[in-house]
Amino acid sequence: MIVIDWGTSSQRAWRLGANGGVLAAREAARGILHVASGGFPEALEAIAGDWIAEGERRVLLSGMVGSRQGWVEAPYLDCPAGAAELAKATVRAPYGPAAVLLVPGLSCRDEHGTPEVMRGEETQIAGLEAAFAAPGLACLPGSHSKWARVESGRILSFRTYLSGEAFAALKSATILGRMMSDGPVSEAAFDRGVARSGDSGHLLHHLFGVRALGLFGELAEADSASYLSGLLIGHETRAALSRRERVHLIGAPKLAALYARAIAACGGEPAIEDSEAARRGLARIGEKVAWD
């Protein structure tokens, strides 16, 4: 079986043996943003054409390739859902040489009826071994961070926080960014922002504080971006974490390490997972697909 985590900006592909073992792995920068409409068969063959030529007949794709802007839309499936439900809801792409199936994204409603969506993260969570051992939270940090409640390998519900994209927008397009110098993340300044997020006074007030602290010489320009990052991630973490519990972190190592700091500071128990969750999730969903 060939499995591909195919997102907006990149592809990660694996050729798996009968037992799910990895025979080969590849990465490419051919995310869906870089594939023209109608160009998906060719983009698949660019990364895995030789494996198909060698006889692979099953291809499973997850991520934005199943969105409206992707190859074929795989409509959002309602929570709760795990590998079995995802396998049943896969959608076939028109491709002659092999069976190509797309894993759907998930949706749910928050307690007030506002919709929520994820696409790609459901497969990573399905690959989280620990999620089968005990109920807990999975956190997938990014532009739109996802916090999912998982039990027995199924996603019961989830919430998205716009923290990453808000950070970038505040840094690039407000007065806060004009007082920030570039440089490495300061863990001390990040921790200070996380601590500030626990103060009364709302995020919108805390944001102005970044400006005022700078004006009074109480926050260095070199520390401002790290402080702002801690402030936003701290707010997100406090909102998402309702009690002391394990939080499984799946994400880019540097960002996951920052989230782990924030989660620990806010009373949670962070556990940084390895980077192979997508591959394991695809393998697990692929096992349950009715290929014929």
Q: Which is nearer to a copy of itself, 96 or 115 (CB)?
A: 115
Question: Of the candidates 34, 88, 159, 288, which one interacts with a copy of itself according to CB under 8 A?
Answer: 159
Contact (CB, 8 A) for 240 and 166? no
Find the binding residues for a copy of itself in span 177-196 (CB under 8 A).
196
Exposure string over 15-48, b if 16+ CB within 10 A, otherwise e: bbeeebeeeeeeebebbbeebeeeebbebbeebb
Q: Does residue 200 belong to the site contacting a copy of itself (CB under 8 A)?
A: yes
Q: Which is nearer to a copy of itself, 65 or 166 (CB)?
A: 166
Residue 130 Cβ vs a copy of itself, minimum distance, rounded to whole Å: 25
Instruction: Report the SS3 class of residue 69.
Output: coil
Q: Which is nearer to a copy of itself, 194 or 213 (CB)?
A: 213
Is the peptide bond preceding residue 184 cis, with omega within 30 degrees of 0?
no
Size of the site for a copy of itself (CB under 8 A): 45
Find the binding residues for a copy of itself in span 101-140 (CB under 8 A).
110-112, 114-117
Alpha carbon distance 12, 61 (integer Å): 10
Q: Which is nearer to a copy of itself, 98 or 170 (CB)?
A: 170
Q: Which is nearer to a copy of itself, 168 or 188 (CB)?
A: 168
Q: Does residue 19 belong to the site contacting a copy of itself (CB under 8 A)?
A: no
Q: Does residue 267 belong to the site contacting a copy of itself (CB under 8 A)?
A: no
Alpha carbon distance 91, 167 (integer Å): 35
Q: Which is nearer to a copy of itself, 41 or 209 (CB)?
A: 209
Q: Which of 13, 9, 11 is nearest to 1 (CA)?
A: 13
Q: Does residue 37 belong to the site contacting a copy of itself (CB under 8 A)?
A: no
Q: Does residue 209 belong to the site contacting a copy of itself (CB under 8 A)?
A: yes
CB under 8 Å to 59, separation ≥6 — which residues? Answer: 1, 2, 3, 4, 44, 48, 52, 95, 98, 99, 100, 101
| Sign of the four-CA dihedral 218, 216, 172, 195 | positive
Residues that bind a copy of itself (CB under 8 A): 110-112, 114-117, 144, 159-163, 165-166, 168-170, 172-176, 196, 199-209, 211-213, 215-216, 218, 232, 235-236, 239
